[in-house]
Structure 1
């Protein structure tokens, strides 16, 4: 391949056959003075990748390369880079690659809420270039969104922290998760299982919520103190009435959540924070008086500051998320897409073996 003008990736080229992506080549974005080039070594598979590749979220770009849980090595630094990165550093890139970095939100560690937010793939930069993601040989990103990764965290376990991990960590922090607090995690999957691990590491008493009993054993192994099967356990709203300080909604579907029941277990001034990003036509439904005394909000990703905090906590407390490795490539990505769509994973995939699919010249 001709680097850096062109990168290689595994992209969706047939929108009607999105579960069978192909090896593609595409132009890199223009290199700017604060950009960093990264040679990718691993990339986590996020539910957002499936939603975008399948068309759940609307238009897909041609040769769409998804992936926003990137781990790799710095191979080039722009002349105006000042974050202390060095050639050869192991770094991560999450689901955001640009913002204005000048507005009040950006200046107060709220980059994900900047109006000039650019996602890692399938969105246009101001100059019109369409971002491409991490199922690829390389990625080129502004240094602000390039995060040093502690060497103590294995690469395949570090990757899912860059989106799934930070997506649940940020609302836990902002919601007030701390020693002595009672925290609920609703939906025990790729993000929810990390929510249990993180909330427990932050000192909270953790309540795991799932519709059925089949996640009980895993939830307790992850560190949950309580498990509630909402469709099978009678009287749970009375048993846990007025118990929780914070609740994070990690389920993949809002339509399958009975918010009116969940509100009953919250304390007055308790916070329910959703990180759900389901299909476009789904809605959160609640009875008009159901929200009395309870705050409900949505959270999006997390800031650079929060990502650094999360990685430090994971390294310091030796937190091990549950990850299955798959080799990157047409077959590996296809398997990830198909199994993720079926929910056949406990609880995250990380794509590896990038040096084999994208060999150096």
Structure 2
């Protein structure tokens, strides 16, 4: 397969980009290193992180930028140092991270916690490679070029459009569920039923949790939540005294919402003694303040979690294939990226938009 000198993708040029102002343009990829592979993009999920970054919501974005970090495609070029792990034609996925320092004296990398590496973390987009100075560009594109260590082979049992949103949305909830003991005998609550939250319900069910409680502002998604595997549903803006009624009933809560005005004190009331509240959604503003006794009175804990390592992503994909975990996706032609981004921000996804590169699909 040939390797183009320039790539093409949907580029954002300023903070208005998320309002449907992306332009299909050419750009130069990072220099190809022996440790790299090149991937012809089949499809790419649309993540809330894309919108936050396009509008510089989490801080200054380096423009122009091509977002997209839920990528699945076929390998078209393999560096000499990557040939033992990847072959031309392999179907692989790339998530929200493409590099860490990988040094033996790094506590995080040496312990398989690459997503927490403080010395060499490079995001799939809006990250800068120290060796070349190039800024990473994502998967709303025809090709991506990334370090091979962060490209994971997709099991044959998963469709590309299903695997793509797992590369970020899936692992973001799978990792904290597994790390915090979700499984038989446990009751797990999932706050928010968007792209991340629907994965939370699906994976909690697949992990064998006794009860899966979907928690949302309104009751309009209850039917969907129960179809995904939720056994209970709490609508915080519609249910009277919901925090009191369900007090001390949940072992672990994963919060996927990115709104800063969440009823955090109410969520903590839902936890059992020694329960855990793990935040994975990333608001652009601060979380609400809480009284210390909300934690002290029953020994509960608040924590956070960020994506997962390549090994954890590989484990998640195998688990999903074995258990038949199937996300609810809506496929959209890559040429309609602007429309899909706007509708994603409007909350219209049910429950993950996946951009399809029609040219790549036609060649399969």
TM-score of the aligned structures, taking structure 1 as reference length: 0.94
1:10-159 to structure 2, matched below 5 A, reads 10-18=10-18, 19-81=20-82, 84-102=85-103, 103-115=106-118, 116-126=120-130, 127-159=132-164
1:236 to 215, 239, 242: 242
Secondary structure at the counterpart of residue 266 of structure 2 = helix
Corresponding residue for residue 207 of structure 1 = 213
Corresponding residue for residue 170 of structure 1 = 175
Secondary structure at the counterpart of residue 337 of structure 2 = helix
Q: 1:306 to 1:357 in 2, by over 3 A?
A: closer
1:274 is aligned to 2:279:
yes
Q: 1:358 to 1:8 in 2, by over 3 A?
A: farther
Q: 1:152 to 1:357 in 2, by over 3 A?
A: closer
1:295 is aligned to 2:296:
no
Secondary structure at the counterpart of residue 295 of structure 2 = coil
User: How far did residue 288 of structure 1 move?
Assistant: 2.7
* Distance (whole Å) between structure 1 residues aligned to residue 3 and residue 326 of structure 2: 35
Alpha-carbon deviations, 1:76-120, whole Å to 9, x = none?
111112652211010000000110112121121100100121100
| CA-based RMSD | 1.9
Alpha-carbon deviations, 1:14-38, whole Å to 9, x = none?
5435422111111111111211111
Given that 1:40 and 1:354 are in contact with CA atoms closer than 8 Å, whether structure 2 keeps it comes out as no
Q: 1:54 to 1:311 in 2, by over 3 A?
A: same
Secondary structure at the counterpart of residue 296 of structure 1 = strand
User: How far did residue 60 of structure 1 move?
Assistant: 2.5
Q: Which stretch has the larger CA shift, 6-15 or 20-29?
A: 6-15
Secondary structure at the counterpart of residue 38 of structure 1 = strand
* Distance (whole Å) between structure 2 residues aligned to residue 151 and residue 357 of structure 1: 16
Secondary structure at the counterpart of residue 320 of structure 2 = helix
1:8 is aligned to 2:8:
yes
* Distance (whole Å) between structure 2 residues aligned to residue 236 and residue 15 of structure 1: 39
Alpha-carbon deviations, 1:275-334, whole Å to 9, x = none?
01121x3334212321121110111011111111111111111111100011002xx111
User: How far did residue 135 of structure 1 move?
Assistant: 0.6
* Distance (whole Å) between structure 2 residues aligned to residue 89 and residue 34 of structure 1: 16
Alpha-carbon deviations, 1:313-357, whole Å to 9, x = none?
11111111100011002xx11111110111111110000034279
Q: 1:328 to 1:213 in 2, by over 3 A?
A: same
1:194 to 187, 190, 199: 199
* Distance (whole Å) between structure 2 residues aligned to residue 238 and residue 283 of structure 1: 22
Given that 1:137 and 1:358 are in contact with CA atoms closer than 8 Å, whether structure 2 keeps it comes out as no
Given that 1:8 and 1:358 are in contact with CA atoms closer than 8 Å, whether structure 2 keeps it comes out as no
Unaligned runs of 5+ in 2: none
* Distance (whole Å) between structure 2 residues aligned to residue 165 and residue 17 of structure 1: 25
1:347 is aligned to 2:351:
yes
User: How far did residue 7 of structure 1 move?
Assistant: 1.1
